[in-house]
Amino acid sequence: MRKKMVAGNWKMNKNLQEGVALATELKQLVINPKCEVVIATPFIHLATIAQLLKDSPIALAAENCADKPAGAFTGEVSAEMVKSTGAQYCILGHSERRAYYHEDYDILREKVLLALQNQLKPIFCIGEVKEEREAGKQNQVVKAQLEGSVFNLTPEQFQNITLAYEPVWAIGTGLTATPQQAQEMHAYIRSLIQQKYGEQIAQDTTILYGGSCNAKNAAELFQNPDVDGGLIGGASLKAPDFLTIINAR
Ligand code: 13P
One-letter amino acid for residue 169 of the chain: W
Confidence band (pLDDT; 50, 70, 90) for 174? confident
Catalytic residue among 94, 96, 103, 128: 94
**pLDDT grade for 1, boundaries at 50, 70 and 90:** confident
Sequence-distant (6+) residues with CB within 8 A of 190 are: 202, 203, 205, 207, 226
pLDDT band (50, 70, 90) for residue 19? very high
pLDDT score at 35:
98
Look at residue 215 and tell me whether its pLDDT is greater than 90.
yes
Q: Which atom of ligand 1 is nearest to the CA of 211?
A: 4
Q: How confident is the model at residue 98 (pLDDT cuts 50, 70, 90)?
A: very high
- Indicate which atom in ligand 1 lies nearest the CA of residue 171: 4
Ligand 1 binding site (Cβ under 6 Å of any ligand atom): 9, 94, 166, 171-172, 210-213, 231-235
Cα–Cα distance, 28 to 153 (Å, whole number): 38
Do the beta carbons of residue 10 and residue 231 sit within 8 Å?
Answer: no
CB of 58 within 8 A of CB of 38?
yes
> Of the candidates 216, 220, 213, which has an alpha carbon nearest to the alpha carbon of residue 234?
213
66 and 77 Cβ atoms separated by less than 8 Å: yes
- For residue 62, which phi and psi values (nearest 5 degrees)? -90, 165
* CB hemisphere CA count around 167 (13 angstroms): 26
Q: What are phi and psi of 53, to 5 degrees?
A: -90, 5
Give residue 14 CA to ligand 1 midpoint distance, Å.
Answer: 15
Q: What is the mean pLDDT of residues 21-30?
A: 98
Atom of ligand 1 nearest to the CA of 236: 2
Q: Is 63 labeled as catalytic in the residue annotation? A: no
pLDDT tens digits for 162-172? 999 999 999 99
Residue 7, helix vs strand vs coil = strand
From the CA of 155, how far away is ligand 1's center (Å)?
29
CB 97 within 8 A of CB 89: no
| Strand ranges (E), the chain | 5-9, 36-41, 58-62, 89-92, 121-126, 162-165, 207-210, 229-232
* pLDDT (tens digit per residue) in 108-153: 999 999 999 999 999 999 999 999 999 999 999 999 999 999 999 9
Instruction: Out of 10, 11, 176, give the residue to mutate to test ligand 1, the one with the largest number of ligand atoms within 8 Å of its CB.
Output: 11
- Residue 14 burial class via C-beta count within 10 angstroms: exposed 0-12, middle 13-18, buried 19 and up: middle
Strands (E), 103-201: 121-126, 162-165
Is 45 catalytic? The answer is no
What type of residue is 93?
G
Task: Return the percentage of the chain with pLDDT > 70, whole number.
Answer: 100
Domains by residue range for the chain, with CATH: 5-248 (3.20.20.70)
Q: For residue 232, is pLDDT > 90?
A: yes
Q: How high does pLDDT run on average in the chain?
A: 97
**In angstroms, rounded to a whole number, what is the distance separating the alpha carbons of residues 102 and 144?**
16
Which residue's CA is minimally distant from atom 9 of ligand 1?
A: 233
- Phi, then psi, of 100 in degrees rounded to 5: -90, -25
- pTM equals 0.98
